[in-house]
Structure 1
Amino acid sequence: MRARELTLASLMSIVTGLSAQLCIYIGPIPYTLQNFGVVLSGLLLTPKYAMLAQSIYLWLIAVGAPLGAGFKGGVNVFLGPTAGYLMAFPIAAYLTSIFSRPLLKEGNRIKAWLVCTLTTSVIYILGITWLYFWLERFNGDIMMWMYKVASLVGVPNGNKLTIILLAGGLIFIPQDVLVDHVLAILVAYYVLRMELRVK
């Protein structure tokens, strides 16, 4: 069992890295399928190994493997504006395993999907918090881009926190919830059913 979990944790770290390359840059922030890998880790692995899978992913980036969005790697990835989102991946995978995985194993895909939305909210909480303080220090082009985004969606005069919440979080939620999470639920449900048949 331990060998299976370790193998799957390693595989999930690679899946997350590959899904990070399926990205479109909206200004300076990458719009990726990384959350697919994070959620899938939580749905297929026990909490400890789900967290391990995403920790391996972050370690691989730190040592230079080009597995960050846009084939980026190295310690500098963890000094940039999106570092907070990445650092939340192990926590989100852990929470998904605790709260969503049991529901999916019972066959309740809708509830599992809804709970995934809550368990992955930590990615936005840590990501936006880091981004806010990063912008306090560096500001520059990213903040200008965020004001442009806010203006396009009808919030031209919001305060700084409102702008960051919108451009650093809210615009990404629909794709995460309706694409990444749904794909992860479908893949995990199929894999778990196959495992039951083998047993």
Structure 2
Amino acid sequence: MTTTLITGANKGLGFETARQLIAAGHEVWMGSRDAEKGKAAANELGGRFVQLDVTDDESVRAAAETIGHLDVLVNNAGIAGSIGPVGDVTPADLRAVYETNTFGPVRVTHTFLPLLEKSEKAVLVYVSSGLGSAGRILDPATVEFHVPTLAYGSAKAALNMITLHYAKTYPNMRVNCVDPGYTATDLNGFQGPQTIAEGAEIIVRMAQVTEDGPTGTFVDRNGTVPW
């Protein structure tokens, strides 16, 4: 059985990804920094709960010790940060978003790499965003062009580059970043036109790629996303 860890799995896209992967036969560890909410979510889906705060070294180390074996890592946990005029954004604003959205996935990946390297079918999925796509941010025809998210967008752009470095360094693993699209979650006040199931579709698909599948790509449910 494929053993999978999803960070930020107690709600939203993480929860729906867990639901779909459990249905597909994965043993899913549902990471959540809130133990009460995480346990409730895992009990609801039949997953396994692990307390995991991606901003805390000890929490991540303890989670790795608890899980012990891993085939698939879905780095999903993230925060939105503030949305507003670019000129108002401070270094502190960026630091808060980067800690979860950029440093968090690196912290989790670094800690779990020894487990992933022992797997014969290691897969890493980084949940990015079209807001981290330079191609979309510069195109007035896209939704992303009109959203002033300096902190969130730049954190996701950095995550895209991080994904490429892992993909290049570990050719025996499948390492990809995905854009779920504008999905109705609490991250955006449930404003997105896509359902949670639609948003999770590409995450689930890339979590199940085989050893001959793509690596080093940036994709959404419709195909390739421009870097």
Q: TM-score, normalised by structure 1?
A: 0.34
- Name whichever structure is richer in strand by fraction: 2
User: Which of 1 and 2 has higher RCO (CA within 8 Å, sep 6+)?
Assistant: 1
Q: TM-score, normalised by structure 2?
A: 0.31
- Name whichever structure is richer in helix by fraction: 1
